[in-house]
Structure formats: structure tokens, C-alpha cells
Amino acid sequence: MRILVFLLVSGLAHFLAARWVLSTLSPAGRVRRGRAIVLTAVALSSLLALARLVSARLETPLSRNLVAVLMLELAAVVLALVPIALMTLVARGVSRAVAARRPTPDGALAVAAPALPAEIVSRRQAIERVAGTALFGGTTLALGWGMVRGRHAFAVEEVVVRVKNWPRALEGYTIAQVSDVHVGAFVGDRELDEGFELVTRVRPDLVVATGDLVDFDASIVGALATRLLRVGARDGAYASLGNHDHYAGPAEVASRLRSMNVNVLSNESVRLRAGDGGGFALLGVDDHQGRVGRSPGFRGPDLYAAERGLDAELPRILLAHQPRYFKEAAGRIALQLSGHTHGGQINPGFRPAELVMDYVAGRYERGGSTLWVNRGFGVAGPPSRVGAAPEVTKIVIVAA
């Protein structure tokens, strides 16, 4: 199914790109080069889907690198097409308006400009070609930087959260959060070590991972578990599951983590530091994908099940992969830690994700509750980050 989606998206994007290229050529140029342009678009559309299929069955450094390059090429095409389309609409609108108002010898208005010889490219076409090429080149350079450098530029974000009824004995309690690690084709030992060096520097009391722990292969989650435990947090390591963990098999992901002493909370809770003024409750809910996939034992988020048996006055901290769950949890918990959005991952000067999502990155308040959305650790789709540095969050909790 995923291969079909790649094929459809890539096919549509390259079809539109080929159509635009042809529109910037002279009539004679379209005749000479049209076939080659169309065949190139078809080849690029098919090659990404084929490379993904091969990589899924026979993963090698060569196949991973090929997929990375092809995904960046597709991302560059998609990102460049939007401003190119707007530019083309404006340019053609202006061209028509000017042509319609061009005076004829007798003073009347002409309906259209004279036709150009077959070999000549109009001024509008020349402008569109230069501007479009510049846009595509700039997009490619930005995405290339995001792959070579951006996705490795880990940053620590520190946030102080005031919590009602928080025990004075736990003033300044520190949680290190990672999210969307996506261990797999584009996140291996190098990326894990880079990010967890910062996690260790935080010196947290507790370390949590809020979903999308693996990309698609549950068998390699041990690489993450090892790093979570190596941090040496006094209160251990806890995790909740994300949609990619469901794609990989939630039961296997959870089982492998638990076998290595990483605690997985799926509609469950645990009381921590009960001897320090009563402590607090750490809750975790299953991902929304469970409501669609219906894996046995993983049926989607259920905060009521996670709260069962908890003291009503006990401060609650919730691990929930998708920030949209905050709409259900707000007012019932003190703090929700989420990820899923990658902070947009590729942001061309603004966050396009904010056009379709209520919560994308950072801090939000609602109903007396706080939500923190981590920008994520790894990548999904094109292995690039632009304007959304991979994040390790340091949460410091104090009494309200």
C-alpha cells in the first residue's frame, strides 16, 4: 500500500513538473524535447517506488542512499511546484492583461499579441524558466543541507512547567523527552549517539520516549532501548507507542522494549516517587492508529483506563504520541508530552503544518493543562530537516 502511495504522489508531482517544463519551451523545442522530458518524468516517478520496494526487501547502504536521493528529489519537486504554480498564474495573468490592452494602429485595443515564430521563446516563458530553475535549485540546495547537516543539528529545548499539587520534595524534577526516533534506514548508531549525548548531559531523573520509536522494523528497537537505559536516569526509562510502531507491530515493539527493562505504558499508569511527598503519576496511552489497525491489546488511546485506581489529587503527566489527544486530555492531566509532527520537518520560512494542525511544536495551554510537542529526533519521508532541528527536551517541573 505504501509503495502505491509513493507511486501516485511521485507520478502526479513529476507529471506537473514535466508539464511546466514543456510550457516554457518554444513550439519547436516541445517537438524536439517533449518525448525525452515525458520519459524522464515517468522514469523518476517509477524509480522511487521501485527503490523503496527493493530497499524494503534487500536493505543495503547503496539502496538506502538511492532512496534518500530520490526522496529528496521528489521533495524538491513538490516544494518548488507550489511557488512555480503561483508565479506562472501571475505571469500569465499579467501577460494576458497586457496583450489585451495593447493598442492597434487605429487606436482600438488588440485582443491578443502576435504569434511568435516556432523557434522563439516569449519573454514570459523565459522569465518563468529562469525563475522556476532558481526555485528548484534553491529548494534542492536547502533539502541537501537538511540531509547533510540539518538532521544532525540536535538541540536541547528547556521548558519549565508549574504543576498543581506537585510535591515540594520533587521541586526541579527533570524529565528528558525524545520522540519520533524512527530507528531504521535513516536513523542508526551515528544519529542515536549524537542525540543521546545531549540526553545524557541533561542528567534527568526520568527519560521518556513518546512514540514512533522505530520506522517500520520492530526487530531493531533494541538499539534505542540500549541508549535509553544508558542515560542512567534514577527513575528509569518509559515509552509510549506511535503510529509507526503500530505499522511495525505494536505487540513486538512493546515486548522487545519490556524485555530490555524499558517500561511501555499503553493505557496504563505508574506511580513514581511515592515516598517523596506522595510522588506523581506517569500515564501513557496507545496511539490513535490503534483505533484503525485494531491490533489485539492495542485499541487506541484510553485515558480512563490509564487513570483507573489513581488518587484524584495525584499530579498526572501523560505520554501521548499525537498532540491532538490534548483535546481529550486537557483538564484531566497536568502535562502532556507528545511528538508526531516533527515540528513540520521541512519548513520553507514558515511551518506549512500549522495550516492543517492545531499543535505543531512547542508549548500550548488548555483547560489548566500544558502540552509540549517535541520536534522529533529522526526523520520520516525525505531524510532532511529544514527549519526544524531535531530536539531533546529538558522538562523541569516545579510546584504551582
- Whether 266 and 293 map to the same domain: the answer is yes
Q: Note the pTM of the prediction, 2 decimals.
A: 0.88
Confidence of residue 381 (pLDDT cuts 50, 70, 90): confident
Rounded average pLDDT over 46-75: 79
Ranges assigned E (strand) in 84-212: 155-163, 173-178, 206-210
User: Domain residues for 122?
Assistant: 2-148
Residue that terminates a domain, selected from 148, 175, 196: 148
Question: Which has the minimum average pLDDT: 16-20, 195-199, 387-391?
Answer: 16-20
Give the total number of structural domains in the chain. Answer: 2
Same structural domain, 169 and 121: no
Q: Do 182 and 390 touch, CB atoms closer than 8 A?
A: no
Q: In this structure, are 19 and 75 located in the same domain?
A: yes
Q: Which of 93, 92, 110 is nearest to 101 (CA)?
A: 110
Residue 61 has pLDDT above 90, yes or no: no
User: Is residue 133 domain-shared with residue 173, that is, in the same domain?
Assistant: no
Same domain membership, residue 344 and residue 208: yes
Provide the 10 A C-beta neighbour count for residue 244. Answer: 26
Q: What CA–CA distance (Å, rounded) separates 316 from 59? A: 42
Give the Cα separation of 306 and 283 in Å (integer). 6
Answer whether 3's CB lies under 8 Å from 108's CB. no
Residue 376: CATH number of its domain? 3.60.21.10
Does residue 163 surpass a pLDDT of 90? yes
> Does one domain contain both 140 and 120?
yes
Residues 102 and 76 in one domain: yes
In a shared domain, residues 160 and 126: no
pLDDT at position 2: 66
- In a 3-state reduction of DSSP, which class is residue 54? helix
- pLDDT at residue number 117: 65
pLDDT at 33 over 70: yes
Residues 377 and 288 grouped into a single domain: yes
Write down the pLDDT at residue 125: 83
Q: Do 388 and 290 sit in the same domain of this protein?
A: yes
Checking if the pLDDT of 107 tops 60, the result is: no
pLDDT at 62: 75
